Structure 1
Amino acid sequence: MKTQKVDFDVVVIGGGPAGLSGALTLARARRSVLVIDAGEPRNAPASAVHNYLGREGVAPGELVSVGRGEVAGYGGEFLAGRVATAKGSAADGFRVVLEEGADVPEVTASRLLVTTGLVDELPPVPGVAERFGREVLHCPYCHGWEVRDTPIGILATGPLAVHQAQMWRQWSEDVTLFRHTAPEFDDEQYEQLAARDIAVVDGEVVALEVTDDRLTGVTLAGGRVIPVRAVVVAPLFTARGGVLADLGAAAADWEMAGHVVGSYVPTDPAGATSVPGVWAAGNVADPTEVVIGSAVAGLRAAAAINGDLIAEETARAVEARRTAGRRDRHK
């Protein structure tokens, strides 16, 4: 869908669940809204979306397609492309410049909602990136049911590996923790693992074994192959915050249990960033957010944006009324 306009009440940068939910809310509030989307959803490799009440098991592409249709049904517009930079302010308006090749080189807006998500930086083990979202997994709530009661391997790359193993033990009694590049575990951690029959294997994992396009095992540095049907990894969750950084909303380290595991752009509970007129929602602001939570965050941010615009419009109307009254008195 190609827009013919260049000036909008709100430009939404990112067309996933957070961005579409925000755009739908704004369009229903009778705001002119444009969604700019590069078409690179984080969950593209996954076959289904889970824990989305009423849409359990829907394909990610279908959810986006339906959402785009709903937004368009209320007058929302779309523009395919990647944002190169964004500049401006709430007082003077924002200018959003797209990379070369977009149908429209730049657009302007009174407010911005950034929902660009994050990048999963994966361990550099051959096969991990290729099978991520299929049998290489990170979220038990998103994928645990699908690999229940099968051999699951945990690829330990950091200090939270034992926690991961204990989590995934909920879905299978056959969990193996491959120590790989993680620090040595302490006695208490080994005791916890043994208490729940979680095996620990030393040595670095050098490859994944795949047979007939299905994961069948992991290969250790010494050549030993251990059968598994799923491998759990801990990506570094890096916010796609370049546009926000251009505007002055820098990303911060995201920590769990005192360890840096990624980055995010800080916002208030409604999604407002430190830059007036700029909101963020979804994984760019909260790396732990699942699809349904991202959609809620987009709605919440959109409501806050609409409220902010109403306050600005009210102030202008009051000033215009006062100015008109002063003119009448001087006639």
Structure 2
Amino acid sequence: MNAMEKNLSELDVVVVGGGVAGLSGALTLVRSRRSVVVVDSGEPRNAPAAAAHGLLSRDGIPPLELLKAGREEVAGYGGRIVSDRAVAARPVDGGFVVETEGGSSFTARRLLVTTGLADELPAIDGLRERWGRDVLHCPYCHGWEVRDLPIGVLATGPASMHQALLFRQLSPRVTYFPHTGPGPDAEQSERLAALGIAVADGEVAGLDVEDDRLAAVRLSSGVRVPVSALAVAPRFVARGGVLSGLGLTVVEHPMGVGMYVESDDSGLTGVPGVWVAGNVTDLMAGVPAAAAAGVRAAAAMNADLVATDADAAVAAYRKSAAGVADAR
């Protein structure tokens, strides 16, 4: 029986999360004739963005269009896409059970979790509403689109100074907003000054928008600093709740940028048979890196299944050979 004709209770892999990491992993698996179900709640992190960048031959594609094409490709090879939210996972003999908000459950031999992360943003008036549009965090994802424009960098932590230097590469008009922090130290101030990066004085009170475009950062003093884009380094928190039933939890990232699920280079977690890929484990991965991680995890999972199946075949072969010998 073809692997894709198996009953859903005999799945090879359940993929939790249908972003680029999950769909890339699913595509790799179904092309290896693995039976796969992708459970996705339809809430991609990059949905507010107009375009995804840095993806070779697809630069500038709208994120939702990219995911639609990915779902169609997975389905074209026999994979199944389930529009639902996975709420729990638990181990069973030989695999795992994934339960959904809609009341469905799927049993599979292996589990790939690609649920991404949530961005924790500063509580500044108007900031969340502009997130992914002209409030940005990644110069490689959105920098070209704001080149030469007045750009603000909101200090939110240790990554903010580095962020200011990166955006200075893209525009000569950069302003650094210390906000509620202590401000840059002497060495940092010298670097900012040498690069012509202005430093605003005072706490940020909100953002001013004109004609549905960011126009200025408003300080608590009432001063308005004109900007067309604002770079913010959010705190990244992996969406790892579905893994709790397996004894896996999110932990603090060594760089202090948020919470993630630990894994090895292939995405294998501390629980045998459970892999993760994309932003749930690599907090700073962009679209191309997340897609590559999904492929890498899927290849490792397929190799693991191949080895397991070969071991089972050898055991059956030996038992059969022993039976023949006894009959003689």
Normalising by structure 1, we get a TM-score of 0.94
Q: CA deviation at 1:265?
A: 1.1
Following the alignment from structure 2 to structure 1, what is the Cα–Cα distance between the partners of residues 10 and 210? 53
May I ask how many residue pairs the two structures share in their alignment?
322
**Aligned counterparts of 2:87 and 2:290: Cα–Cα separation in 1:** 24
User: Partner letter of residue 7 of structure 1?
Assistant: E
Please tell me whether residue 322 in structure 1 is matched to residue 322 in structure 2: no
Instruction: State the match for 2:57 in structure 1.
Output: 54
- Within 2, Cα distance between the matches of 1:301 and 1:163? 30
Supply the distance in 2 between the matched residues of 1:215 and 1:5 (Cα, whole angstroms).
49
Q: Partner of 1:298 in structure 2?
A: 294
| 8 Å Cα contact 1:159/1:183 also seen in 2 | no
1:97 corresponding residue in structure 2? 99
Structure 2 partner of 1:133 = 132
Q: Name the structure 1 match of 2:79.
A: 76
- Once the two structures are superposed, what CA deviation does each residue of 1:33-80 show, in whole Å capped at 9, x if it has no partner? 000000000000000010000101111011111111111110000111
User: Which of 238-247 and 304-313 deviates more?
Assistant: 238-247
Shift, 1:159, TM fit: 3.1
Q: Provide the C-alpha distance between the structure 2 equivalents of 1:324 and 1:161, rounded to a whole number of angstroms.
A: 65
- Tell whether the 8 Å contact from 2:205 to 2:218 is kept in structure 1 after alignment: yes
| Cα distance in structure 1, aligned partners of 2:245 and 2:151 | 42
After the TM superposition, which residues 205-284 of structure 1 pair with which residues of structure 2 at under 5 Å, given as runs? 205-256=204-255, 260-284=256-280
Q: Distance in 2 between matches of 1:313 and 1:255?
A: 37
In structure 2, what is the Cα distance between the partners aligned to 1:69 and 1:175? 42
- In the TM superposition, what whole-angstrom CA distance separates every residue of 1:286-326 from its partner, at most 9, and x where no partner exists? 01111011111111111111110111111111111111122
- Identity of paired residues, percent? 56
Q: Secondary structure at the match of 2:300?
A: helix
Q: What value does the CA root-mean-square deviation take over the aligned residues?
A: 1.4
What is the alpha-carbon distance in structure 1 between the residues aligned to residue 318 and residue 31 of structure 2? Answer: 31
The residue aligned with 2:3 is none
Shift of 1:4: 8.2
Asked whether 1:19 is paired with 2:15, we answer: no
Could you tell me how far apart the structure 2 residues matched to 1:262 and 1:172 are? 28
Cα displacement (A) at 1:329: 2.4
Given that 2:8 and 2:107 are in contact with CA atoms closer than 8 Å, whether structure 1 keeps it comes out as no
CA distance in 2, matches of 1:158, 1:264: 17
Distance 1:7 1:203 in 2: 60
* Counterpart contact for 2:22–2:38, Cα < 8 Å: yes
User: 1:28 maps to which residue?
Assistant: 31
1:193 aligned counterpart, secondary structure: helix
CA distance in 2, matches of 1:219, 1:4: 59
Asked if the contact 1:176/1:199 (under 8 Å) is kept, the reply is: yes
- State the alpha-carbon separation in 2 of the partners of residues 23 and 5 from structure 1: 15
Contact 2:125–2:205, Cα closer than 8 Å, also in 1 = yes
Indicate if the aligned counterparts of 1:137 and 1:232 stay in contact, CA closer than 8 A: yes
Structure 2: give runs of 5+ residues left out of the alignment.
1-5
Q: Which moved more, 1:121-130 or 1:318-327?
A: 318-327
For residues 252 and 176 of structure 2, the distance between their equivalents in structure 1, rounded to whole angstroms, comes to 27
Contact 2:178–2:200 (CA<8 Å) still a contact in 1?
yes
Look up the equivalent residue of 1:240 and give its one-letter code.
Answer: R
Deviation at 1:182, TM superposition (A): 2.1
Q: In 2, are the aligned partners of 1:279 and 1:301 still within 8 Å (CA)?
A: yes
Provide the secondary structure at the position in 1 that maps to 2:324: helix
Confirm whether residue 144 of structure 1 aligns to residue 151 of structure 2.
no
Q: CA deviation at 1:184?
A: 3.0
Alpha-carbon distance in structure 1 between the residues aligned to 2:119 and 2:205: 20
CA contact (8 A) 1:207 1:219 kept: yes
